Amino acid sequence: DTEVTQTPKHLVMGMTNKKSLKCEQHMGHRAMYWYKQKAKKPPELMFVYSYEKLSINESVPSRFSPECPNSSLLNLHLHALQPEDSALYLCASSQGFRSGGRAVREQFFGPGTRLTVL
């Protein structure tokens, strides 16, 4: 299985709602990523989990809360979002990297969740 799945495909939420995005992979990868992509722009990194621990947080507002319950799952909890947070949210996974090992891996992306905040 070389697929990264994301649910839901589309999500519409109000600014007071709480929702979650889910991502799953069964490739045995130990690094997982959340990206945000606005229209006609490249993906922007939000978070990186390595061996189920948060290793990179690119100064993302606290209204976005990531969670990695196990090596196959990655969640992004959303609360009190703003309309400017509307975007395509992409999950990716790659082989893990340990200190002193090869640090760069190709990332495999899911199809994304199209989020609209009203």
Partner 1 sequence: AQSVTQPDIHITVSEGASLELRCNYSYGATPYLFWYVQSPGQGLQLLLKYFSGDTLVQGIKGFEAEFKRSQSSFNLRKPSVHWSDAAEYFCAVGTYYGGSQGNLIFGKGTKLSVKP
Which stretches of the chain bind partner 1, using CB under 8 A?
4, 6, 33, 40-43, 45, 48, 50, 55-56, 88, 90, 92, 94, 97-101, 103-112, 114
Of the two residues 18 and 41, which places its CB atom closer to partner 1 in the complex?
41
**Whole-angstrom distance, CA of residue 94 vs CA of residue 109:** 9
Ramachandran area for residue 25 (φ above 0: left; ψ -120 to 50: alpha; else beta): beta
CB of 59 vs partner 1, minimal distance in Å: 14
In whole angstroms, what is the distance from residue 84 CA to residue 81 CA? 8
Shortest Cβ distance from residue 16 to partner 1 (Å)?
A: 27
Provide, rounded to whole angstroms, the least separation between the CB of residue 76 and partner 1: 15
Shortest CB 24 distance to partner 1, Å? 14
H or E segment to which residue 64 belongs: strand 64-70
Beta carbon nearer to partner 1, 79 or 114: 114
Judged by CB, which is closer to partner 1: 84, or 106? 106
Identity of the amino acid at 42: P
In the bound state with partner 1, the residue whose beta carbon lies nearer, of 43 and 66, is: 43
Give the bridge partners for 78, in sequence order.
Answer: 19, 64
Q: Going by C-beta distance under 8 Å and a sequence separation of 6 or more, which residues neighbour residue 40?
A: none
